Amino acid sequence: MKKWLKDNWFTLASNYTDEETTNGFWKDLETHYTSKNRHYHNLSHLYHMFLQLEDFKTDIKDLDSLKFAIWYHDIIYKATNKDNEEQSAVFAKKRLNILNFEEKRLKNVENLIISTKKHQIILDENNDNAYLLDFDLSILGSDWETYLNYTQQIRKEYKIYPDFMYNPGRRKVLQHFLERETLYFTDAYQSEFENKARENIIREIELL
């Protein structure tokens, strides 16, 4: 998995900078996504998002921007932070500025990352934002065993909080998802994952 991701990163970044910078940025990404507090928001999460992207490449308007957004959307992740997404967007901007990434596309990457905070589309000129959000939440529509493992990984990331604090907060987040008209934004994901995701969320709420 890690080799696949590294190759993916080098293929992307080498279009914009030299090998030394590409390698340095890779080490930076690897360090952040493999830190000891990462039980779900880690390289495995990125890997699964990129695997899904492979199936929808032809639907994406700006593939490189979406890839950069995936790489950096969780680069900053601390359970006690309320601005992980904003910090991740700033981090991405600093890196992409070094790559001389086009200003308009860079702004799109920032907005794509920030959209994962509330999981609401910010950029609606095409479906790139919709796909990013659907890739990010696809785990919700997985089989129950996979979903249950995901909830346990999330709980470990929030282990600093006791159950009496964690459970109400988690329940609030899940309830918010249920109140949305749809969890997913693309036809493909609504068709394949919507019903199962709602079943899983209801089941988790009952366990809290």
Structural domain boundaries in the chain: 2-138, 140-207
- The per-residue pLDDT for range 176-187, each reduced to its tens digit, is 999 999 999 999
- C-alpha 117: how far from chain center: 10
The C-alpha atoms of residue 194 and residue 208 are separated, in whole angstroms, by 22
What is the model's pTM?
A: 0.96
Low-confidence residues in the chain, pLDDT < 50: none
Please give the CATH architecture assigned to the domain spanning 2-138.
Orthogonal Bundle (1.10)
Cβ-count burial of 163 within 10 angstroms (0-12 exposed, 13-18 middle, 19+ buried)?
A: exposed
Find tokens 């065993």 and name the residue: 145
Q: Which residues contact 12 (CB under 8 A, 6 or more apart)?
A: 64, 67, 68, 71
pLDDT of the residue at 41: 97
- The per-residue pLDDT for range 158-207, each reduced to its tens digit, is 999 999 999 999 999 999 999 999 999 999 999 999 999 999 999 999 99
pLDDT of the residue at 100: 85
Closest to 5 in 3D by CA, of 39, 33, 47, 34: 47
